[in-house]
């Protein structure tokens, strides 16, 4: 006889248990991974830049462009090179036909800016920047309606990404024959 050992196969029950435990994910592990994913998404959303634009009532009721515009950074990330523009789409003076300033698409506006705001201001958390519409347009006599936008360009300093956000406004004549600005859906 020889000295070789005889190899015996493992019983089937042990092999089946080993296969079952390899691919099992525990409920705790799954819930921990899901909670971590939700947390990461929440952190990313918290750091998305948020700008808020508000337009006041005109100081001079006869001049709708005497209204002031306030741009506020309501996000947690400071913004660099914040530069506002006035986007003109359509203006109507008195009883004349409307003057189209750009293409019919609501996304396209003719941009007007003020050179003193270039290259832009820095807005930290809860910082505000205000200006008057008349700093860009001046007095427009007999304005009866307008379709404009406040266009804000800014840069995210952490990643250097330059973005632009459009806040559309419309001017409508009210029953007291005065013009007031209203936010319009983008």
Q: Contact, 114 vs 138, CB < 8 A?
A: no
The closest of 148, 165, 160, 147 to 74, measured between CA atoms, is: 165
The whole-number pLDDT of residue 17 equals: 55
The pTM for the full model equals 0.70
Q: What three-state secondary structure class fits 29?
A: helix
**H or E stretch at 111:** strand 110-112
What is the reported pLDDT for 11?
A: 60
CA-nearest of 181, 161, 182 to 80 is 161
What the block records as the tokens of 59 is 């100081």
For residue 157, the number of C-alpha atoms closer than 13 Å in the C-beta half-sphere is 11
In the DSSP assignment, the letter for residue 135 is: G
What is the pLDDT at residue 168? Answer: 92
Q: What is the pLDDT along the chain (186 residues), one digit of tens a residue?
A: 556 667 666 666 555 555 555 556 788 888 899 999 999 998 887 778 889 999 988 888 788 888 899 999 998 888 989 999 888 888 887 765 555 554 444 456 778 877 877 777 888 888 898 988 888 877 666 778 888 889 999 998 888 889 999 999 998 888 888 888 888 876
Alpha-carbon distance of 128 to 183, in angstroms, equals 19
Q: What are φ and ψ of residue 38, in 5° steps?
A: -65, -40
Which class in CATH covers the domain with range 51-183? Answer: mainly beta
Q: Note the pLDDT of residue 37.
A: 93
Q: How many CB atoms lie within 10 A of CB 91?
A: 19
Residue 120's CB: how many other CB atoms inside 10 A? Answer: 17
- Sign of the C-alpha dihedral, residues 153, 123, 39, 166? negative
């Amino acid at each position: 006889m020889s000295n070789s050992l005889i190899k015996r196969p493992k019983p089937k029950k042990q092999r089946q248990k080993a296969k079952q435990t390899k691919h099992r994910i525990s409920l705790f592990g799954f819930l921990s991974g899901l909670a971590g994913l939700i947390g990461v998404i929440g952190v990313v959303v918290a750091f998305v830049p948020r700008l808020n634009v508000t337009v006041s009532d005109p100081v001079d009721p006869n001049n709708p462009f005497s209204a002031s515009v306030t741009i506020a950074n309501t996000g947690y990330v400071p913004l660099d090179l914040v530069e506002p523009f006035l986007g003109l789409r359509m203006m109507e003076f008195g009883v004349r036909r409307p003057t189209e300033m750009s293409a019919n698409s609501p996304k396209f506006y003719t941009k007007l800016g003020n050179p003193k705001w270039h290259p832009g201001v820095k807005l930290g958390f809860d910082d505000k920047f205000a200006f008057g519409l008349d700093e860009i347009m001046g007095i427009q006599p007999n304005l009866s309606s307008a379709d404009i936008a406040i266009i804000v360009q800014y840069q995210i300093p952490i990643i250097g990404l330059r973005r632009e956000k459009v806040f559309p406004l419309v001017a409508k004549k009210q029953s007291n024959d005065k013009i007031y600005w209203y936010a319009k859906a983008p």
